[in-house]
Amino acid sequence: MKVELFNKKNKKDLVSQLRSESFDRITISFYKYINIDNIEILRDYLYFKWTKLKVLGRVYIANEGINAQLSLPKHNLDPFLKQLKQNEDFNDLKIKKALIEGESFYKLNIKIKNEIVAYKIPKNEYDMNIVGKHFDYKDFNDAIDDGATVIDIRNYYEGEVGRFQNAIVPDIDRSEDLLPEIKKLLKGKESKQILMYCTGGIRCEKASSYLIKNGFKNVNQLDGGIIKYANDIKKNKVKSKFLGKNFVFDNRLGENITNDIISNCHQCNKLSNSHKNCNNSSCHILFIQCDNCEIKYRGSCSEKCMNFNKLDEQDQKKFLKNKEVIFNGTNSDRLRPKINNIFK
Ligand SMILES: [Zn+2]
Ligand SMILES: [Zn+2]
Does residue 99 share a domain with residue 129?
no
Rounded to the nearest angstrom, the distance between the alpha carbon of 38 and the centre of ligand 1 is: 49
pLDDT of residue 307: 92
Query: Residues 327, 282: contact at Cβ < 8 Å?
Result: yes
On whether residue 223 sits in a domain, the answer given is yes
On whether residue 250 sits in a domain, the answer given is no
Does residue 192 share a domain with residue 160?
yes
Rounded to the nearest angstrom, the distance between the alpha carbon of 318 and the centre of ligand 2 is: 18
CATH of residue 84: 3.30.70.100
Does residue 103 share a domain with residue 129?
no
On whether residue 174 sits in a domain, the answer given is yes
Does residue 70 share a domain with residue 129?
no
On whether residue 198 sits in a domain, the answer given is yes
pLDDT of residue 251: 76
- Which stretches of the chain are assigned E, i.e. beta strand? 25-33, 56-62, 65-73, 96-97, 108-112, 133-135, 149-152, 162-164, 193-197, 218-222, 242-246, 255-256, 275-277, 286-288
Q: What's the domain count of the chain?
A: 2
Tell me if residue 301 is catalytic.
no
Does residue 139 share a domain with residue 47?
no
pLDDT of residue 319: 82
On whether residue 214 sits in a domain, the answer given is yes
pLDDT of residue 342: 37
Does residue 134 share a domain with residue 101?
no
Rounded to the nearest angstrom, the distance between the alpha carbon of 268 and the centre of ligand 1 is: 4
Query: Residues 231, 99: contact at Cβ < 8 Å?
Result: yes
Distance, CA of 165 to CA of 156 (rounded, Å): 15
Distance, CA of 98 to CA of 96 (rounded, Å): 7
Does residue 98 share a domain with residue 135?
no
Q: Single out the residue in 91, 112, 133 at which a domain terminates.
A: 112
Rounded to the nearest angstrom, the distance between the alpha carbon of 261 and the centre of ligand 1 is: 14
Q: How many C-beta atoms surround the C-beta of residue 203 within 10 A?
A: 26
DSSP letter assigned to residue 71: E
Q: Single out the residue in 93, 112, 131 at which a domain terminates.
A: 112
Which ligand is the nearest neighbour of the Cα of 268?
Answer: 1
Which ligand is the nearest neighbour of the Cα of 276?
Answer: 2
For 94-115, the DSSP string reads --EE-SS-----SSEEEEE-S-
Rounded to the nearest angstrom, the distance between the alpha carbon of 324 and the centre of ligand 2 is: 15
In the set 198, 204, 293, 301, the catalytic residue is: 198
Does residue 43 share a domain with residue 128?
no
pLDDT of residue 318: 86
Which ligand is the nearest neighbour of the Cα of 267?
Answer: 1
3-state helix, strand, coil split of the chain in percent (to 5) is 35, 20, 45
Burial code (b: 16+ CB inside 10 Å, e: under 16) for 258-268 equals bebbbbbbbbe
pLDDT of residue 238: 96
On whether residue 299 sits in a domain, the answer given is no
Q: Single out the residue in 244, 262, 288 at which a domain terminates.
A: 244
On whether residue 328 sits in a domain, the answer given is no
CATH of residue 143: 3.40.250.10
Domain ranges, residue 97: 11-112
Does residue 151 share a domain with residue 105?
no
Q: What is the mean pLDDT of each run of 10 residues along the chain (344 residues)?
A: 61 86 92 92 94 95 94 95 89 86 87 92 92 97 97 94 94 92 96 97 96 97 95 95 90 87 93 92 90 96 91 87 75 50 34
On whether residue 237 sits in a domain, the answer given is yes
Does residue 221 share a domain with residue 148?
yes
Confidence (pTM): 0.85
Which ligand is the nearest neighbour of the Cα of 264?
Answer: 1
Rounded to the nearest angstrom, the distance between the alpha carbon of 269 and the centre of ligand 1 is: 6
Does residue 130 share a domain with residue 99?
no
